[in-house]
Amino acid sequence: MAKRKQPGTDLEPVAGNGLLHRRMFLRGGAVAGVLGAAGLAQAEPLAVPEWVTKPGKRPQPYTQPSPFEQGVQRLLPDQNPLYEPGSASGRTPHQFLEGMVTPNGLHFEVTHNGVPEIDPARHMLVIHGLVKRPLKFTVDSLLRYPMTSRLHFIECAGNSASLYGSTAVKSSVQQLHGLLSGAEWTGVPLSVLLDEAGIDPKAKWVYAEGGDASSVTRSIPLAKCMDDVLVALYQNGERLRPNNGYPVRLLVPGFQGNMNIKWLRRLRLTEGPMQTRYETSRYSLLLADGKTAQFKLQLDAKSIITRPSPGYQMQGPGLYEISGLAWSGNGTVKQVEVSADGGKSWAVAALSGPVLPKMLTRFRAPWKWDGGPAVLQSRVTDDTGYVQPTRDALIAARGNKANYHYNGITTWNVANGGEVTHVYA
Amino acid sequence: MAKRKQPGTDLEPVAGNGLLHRRMFLRGGAVAGVLGAAGLAQAEPLAVPEWVTKPGKRPQPYTQPSPFEQGVQRLLPDQNPLYEPGSASGRTPHQFLEGMVTPNGLHFEVTHNGVPEIDPARHMLVIHGLVKRPLKFTVDSLLRYPMTSRLHFIECAGNSASLYGSTAVKSSVQQLHGLLSGAEWTGVPLSVLLDEAGIDPKAKWVYAEGGDASSVTRSIPLAKCMDDVLVALYQNGERLRPNNGYPVRLLVPGFQGNMNIKWLRRLRLTEGPMQTRYETSRYSLLLADGKTAQFKLQLDAKSIITRPSPGYQMQGPGLYEISGLAWSGNGTVKQVEVSADGGKSWAVAALSGPVLPKMLTRFRAPWKWDGGPAVLQSRVTDDTGYVQPTRDALIAARGNKANYHYNGITTWNVANGGEVTHVYA
């Protein structure tokens, strides 16, 4: 009886247009001769560049990336994209990054009146409103409290918004989806501080206010605050950077980015939401009838392919690794599928663990590109069973006026010859 | 019948000198009035500092820490600590950090002839020796290969070496234990590249050589290389920094730091170890009889308390959170215990998940300091059952000439009034 063939062992596709089994790369010898290495006629002597013969530089107190990587930067707006005084952003260059952690220097930001430079010795956080005992905290006093560390993504509600438009913007994954980052956050569970203040049973919401010149204010359900919200002080080990809320910000896992109030200075417990500017005229999902779906706060499951993506130089037919990010504001990534034929067929991608709730998950899939046209897509399913919708399905459900919470599938077209562009499919 | 009291519910110690139950902080209201918050007589109006009234700064392409955090730096040597031309180090300031990820700017380094500034377009990696097909790789070709992301610590074999000395050095956790960091690494599994080269059955070791001006060379067992070694290209999402091996380094999880060869340019498969300078005169554990224990490569389980630690300002009697790091080169942290009475009694610390193999684990324990003398220690047990030894036990086993692999317990003395110093106990 013939031995049953394992899928993908012979570079046999598991889905259309060259997608291979996700475990193909783990099999011994599978990549021999199909990738970028060159045979070596003569091993010795190795080339001796000048850095092998001359002493290098002294260590620095705080290191920086290589000068050869200076093109890896956040994308800043040429103009004011939101047509409002002072609003600006810095977008994470996901086309150049790997793994699930965004380095602090490249974490995205959105600000509405610039980045304040706050003296931590003068910053205060106040908890008041429907509490038994109003409290004020210096930053030093917050640093005395018990802390928790967790890895979480933050995504702006307006990330990917251009995909609601009728024309596919020919731009990079950074421009389209760069208002998204992931980091390890350490801070005090907000529940500890609210318990200390003593919650009045009438309180159902928490109004949070930032201490910058735009004073972003949002109402957050008290139940969420008592669940997994952090008063964050550290980001990837070190104290928050100014553009990420130094000295103290809220971390509201899985909710719209703007609710993770930076430069946090006030938490006021209230009976109902405060209907602030940032939750009425802004950051509310516009529906087809001109009304808004207010307080849709969680970010639904979403995924993007970061490599190849627009700007990537395909180097001729052969084996490639498709790499991307998936996440869900409602839980944990369960599965990511990748298509090379515009969604006609799908291959299951490998996930790089640990797969964590409300955190970016890196996925990867091997792909044998034949040099011809291909249409790349990714689709995530989270542990609630929710499946990332197509762009058409999302727009059909929301109408044509929607502006936030775009989480439909993104499509990269690979042309004959290898140019990668953003298209609708 | 009386209800059984939960441990720690009433700030009741679970170990001597004020150590409380690790879950105490999670109980509603437990910290009320015992920490740093101040009652607020009048909530409104909040103070209005200038950063609330004046626009802040524009976003930057690559952000930096707050100017108020400029004291958080790596510790550089005043003199050349190893008495060799060009050797230098930068130590991670663990007294100021939290969580398990070390930010890239503060990752430790040891260099033996400076930090080379390598042009990635000219760097090559060669695999040769006992292989069927010698290979050479450009950096661009390595970037085509399948990648894996994992979080791992790196620790220098000489980290904490001063604790072998007869006098407790009065210094910081950074000076004593700062040759240790943790990060998310992304790269190509070395097994994939070795499979492509085709391993000659006679090969049992891999000789790895760095491309800087000191050409650090080490022999690594082939079995380890086929297990979990990465040819790493990315650190916390972005490409490696020059001091961490840009453009390509080895990542040899759980083994001595120096074996994670930076600026990797050669891998040569051999029958036996090469007995290089860096594995004979250096980085070998000196025994009592003057011989060395060669090729003791794995770093055994170890833990340190980072807060409070020398330099920390205790702010009077009250509740504190003891915070620290634990790790094992042999596996995963299973349990960390903390003592406030010099090891007479122990309380189990809480671990901040995810707890990952061969990665730093953050532990925390609540402590009610009475303002009097205390002797703080931590002790880790890993999933092999290994328990971190006392300093006395370690020195008794190794003799008085040992210089590397110090993993005994570290002791911080808290004096009347709150000064924290390093002592032997």
The Cα B177–Cα B362 span in angstroms is 15
The Cα A298–Cα A327 span in angstroms is 12
pLDDT digits 0-9 by tens, A107-161: 999 999 999 999 999 999 999 999 999 999 999 999 999 999 999 999 999 999 9
The Cα B348–Cα B363 span in angstroms is 10
Q: Average pLDDT of A290-298?
A: 89
User: How high is the mean pLDDT in each 10-residue block of chain B (425 residues)?
Assistant: 44 86 66 61 78 92 97 84 71 98 98 94 95 93 94 97 95 97 98 94 98 95 98 98 98 98 98 93 86 91 98 92 98 98 97 96 96 97 98 92 94 96 96
Q: Is B242–A76 a contact, with Cβ atoms under 8 angstroms apart?
A: no
Q: Is A236–B239 a contact, with Cβ atoms under 8 angstroms apart?
A: no
Closest partner residue to A105 among B63, B212, B242, by Cβ?
B63
- In the predicted structure, residue A371 carries a pLDDT above the cut 80: yes
pTM of the model: 0.95
* Mean of pLDDT over chain A: 91
Contacts of A184 in chain B (CB under 8 A): 99-101
Contacts of B98 in chain A (CB under 8 A): 147, 149, 186, 233-234, 237
The Cα A341–Cα A373 span in angstroms is 9
Closest partner residue to B73 among A61, A119, A235, by Cβ?
A61
Q: Is A100–B31 a contact, with Cβ atoms under 8 angstroms apart?
A: no
Measured in angstroms, the CA of B176 and the nearest CA of chain A are apart by 17
Q: What is the pLDDT of residue B29?
A: 54
Contacts of B62 in chain A (CB under 8 A): 65, 73-74, 105-106
Q: Is A35–B141 a contact, with Cβ atoms under 8 angstroms apart?
A: yes
Q: Is A62–B74 a contact, with Cβ atoms under 8 angstroms apart?
A: yes
Categorize the per-residue pLDDT at A169 as very low, low, confident or very high, splitting at 50, 70 and 90: very high
Measured in angstroms, the CA of B229 and the nearest CA of chain A are apart by 13
- In the predicted structure, residue A225 carries a pLDDT above the cut 70: yes
How much is the ipTM here?
0.95
Angle (nearest 5°) at CA A21 between A20 and A23: 130
Measured in angstroms, the CA of A295 and the nearest CA of chain B are apart by 26
Closest residue in chain B to residue A59, using alpha carbons only: B90
Contacts of B49 in chain A (CB under 8 A): 118-119, 122-123, 211
Measured in angstroms, the CA of B322 and the nearest CA of chain A are apart by 9
Categorize the per-residue pLDDT at A9 as very low, low, confident or very high, splitting at 50, 70 and 90: very low
Contacts of A137 in chain B (CB under 8 A): 36-38
Categorize the per-residue pLDDT at A36 as very low, low, confident or very high, splitting at 50, 70 and 90: low
3-state secondary structure chain B: CCCCCCCCCCCCCCEHHHECCCCHHHCCCCCCCCCCCEECCCCCCCCCCHHHHCCCECCCCCCCCCHHHCCCCCECCCCCCCCCCCCEEEECCHHHCCCCCCCHHHCCEEECCCECCCCCCCCEEEEEECECCCEEEEHHHHCCCCCEEEEEEEECCCCCHHHHCCCCCCCCHHHHHCCEEEEEEEEEEHHHHHHHHCECCCCCEEEEEECCCCCCEEEEEHHHHHHCCEEEEEECCEECCHHHCCCCEEECCCECHHHCCCCEEEEEEECCCCCCHHHHCCCCEECCCCCEECCCCECCCEEEEEECCCCCCCCCCEEEEEEEEEECCCCCEEEEEEECECCCCCEECEEECCCCCCCCEEEEEEEEECCCCEEEEEEEEECCCCECCCHHHHHHHHCCCCCCCCCCCCEEEECCCCCEEEECC
| Contact (Cβ atoms closer than 8 angstroms) between residue B354 and residue A149 | no
Q: Is A265–B46 a contact, with Cβ atoms under 8 angstroms apart?
A: yes
Measured in angstroms, the CA of A81 and the nearest CA of chain B are apart by 14
Contacts of B213 in chain A (CB under 8 A): 51-56
Cite the beta strand spans of A91-229 per DSSP E.
109-111, 124-129, 135-138, 148-155, 180-189, 205-210, 217-221
pLDDT digits 0-9 by tens, A39-62: 665 666 788 999 999 999 989 999
Longest dimension (CA), chain A: 79
Categorize the per-residue pLDDT at A7 as very low, low, confident or very high, splitting at 50, 70 and 90: very low
Q: Is A59–B69 a contact, with Cβ atoms under 8 angstroms apart?
A: no
DSSP for A285-302, written as a single string: EEPTTS-EETT--BPPPE
pLDDT digits 0-9 by tens, B372-418: 999 999 999 999 999 999 999 999 999 878 889 999 999 999 999 99
Closest partner residue to A136 among B40, B97, B150, by Cβ?
B40
Contacts of B196 in chain A (CB under 8 A): 29, 31-33, 35, 37
Which domains are delineated in chain B?
Answer: 105-291 (3.90.420.10), 302-423 (2.60.40.650)
